[in-house]
Structure 1
């Protein structure tokens, strides 16, 4: 069996979620229908809403079901921008961290291109932590008057850095600015409490916590006005139309309940495995560099399941495929368009050059991870790394020779 070290991309469905999914999917009934089957479906949805609200520290009415984290991000960012600008046309700026997931990054860029938004990409430090001084400077001296919203992820999907959400919200609140956070990576990994956070909106997703793919939620404060992104039947407080996926929602709730009931102990267990991965990489490949917060120095500053390294002189894609051949499934954590590898925008924002960023590899652990997985990884890494480094060097020489031939 392959060793799965890509839980940050998606994590295997839990037994409780699978049981809920298979039980409910066998039933008929649209939760918006008034007959018996419809009422039963509605009861399932509302019970799940209460379960997810309890798991995320929210009121049930604050849970807006979506098709996943990407839709929740779109709804949160676009909906807040449109509603705030409608109330005051001068509010056309969005302050957003420079290390956001594409679901937020691309949404903001779309608003810039099509809706006249002005985006300010807030800098981060070498660990990927948002620069609070830069945010404060943008809000001072009247700058806050033109800000529609601030968006900053709770924890980074690539390097695992946990962002200072409490400080960001406190700063924004002093100017009356709503804050959205993509908490897809954080929810189910660390303690996330929507009500206590003071956020206006927060995105979460089912398949990152042991639920199925295709279901998520936007947690939306009860006092927050949001402009809908899509229109239709007016389900979900009138801001998210569409027939609800009853079975997926039930499974999402089962996963959320399971993962949060044992969160502290499970996070500690997974963090121990992560630390073993970090120690092994440092021993076996001394020139590899851990990216993001070092958990030995600041344990709460990094997600418990995330270990992200750059390997000098090594193409991340080469290492990924060689590890895959050895039965270890990891990720580069960077975008790849049309088969052309591109350096991670997260690593570039952290100050890395393109060559260094191309050597990235993310190892992420989750609820199915075990010490045996780390042992298998340790056995596979030296040979895979040696071969990837040789392949990277050969590719570099080949590209130089090709360029030289063209010059002639």
Structure 2
């Protein structure tokens, strides 16, 4: 007995667009459904753009979902492309109507997305590795996570997450690639090869602004920004564009790195941002022959940074964790497989997952939110 049209539509409702992460039935992507008496089903699907990089995956997902319906003997998927009017309708459905000035959703007073700007005083402390693994750990725990590679000159996040897809553009809206359930965007996705980015301050700010406004992030629990080292243009732009962003400082134990990290964190005193805490990377090396910890880069740098920032800012800045040296952390970055996913039981993974569990809590309650109510005179 051939399946009903309602059964096929119900099956299609379980198929999500890989980039937007919403059912294709809600997005107007189902063009047609035809069910033959012999159980052969033909489904027409609209792609957002002609060169959609995920067309094969959409075809596989639709075929798999419809094939599960009892009575289906074969599935044909015919792909078409949305018209300009249909793309505009999709954009309006996702973002709603907006005025001429684009809005940063995370800067709105009622945003419940926690924005964490990961900073360091100098390069080479493993800031990007920490950011990528925190994002992966949060996503693995069930949170909706976005990641902006804001280190424009030294972008490395795509490689560390194994991202090879390029963003898809729908009208003036950019669909970010998804890796390990993390929505991610980087300037490296828009340029050819390994060519350098040679921009001055205004261009850097413009790139960050576009990442925040033109990219469709959806409803995120956490958005992480991998900042460039130091206190330059991007750090200032983040403070101006997203005043509610919290700063997470990454350092290593040695005194030289700690002093520079303290300067990077102290920017919060001028920008009035909150420092959520300090992470000490490369804190120790486990001895291969015993249980001792070898302090390769010294000891106490992370706690020293936290204490110094606390004195400067007038509130307690916690040392959130001490991440050990582990070759698997480096190897995972080179292979595009975060160690918290590839080897979750390793000591380095356990520490990163513990830190991520504390940082990934979505803001709840009314504290810090603007209520759109007005007093009424009685």
Q: Does TM, scored on the shorter chain, surpass 0.5?
A: no
Structure ranking higher on relative contact order (CA contacts 8 Å, 6+ apart): 1
User: TM-score, normalized by length of structure 2?
Assistant: 0.24
User: TM-score, normalized by length of structure 1?
Assistant: 0.23
Higher helix share: 1
Higher strand share: 2
**Pair member with larger Rg:** 2
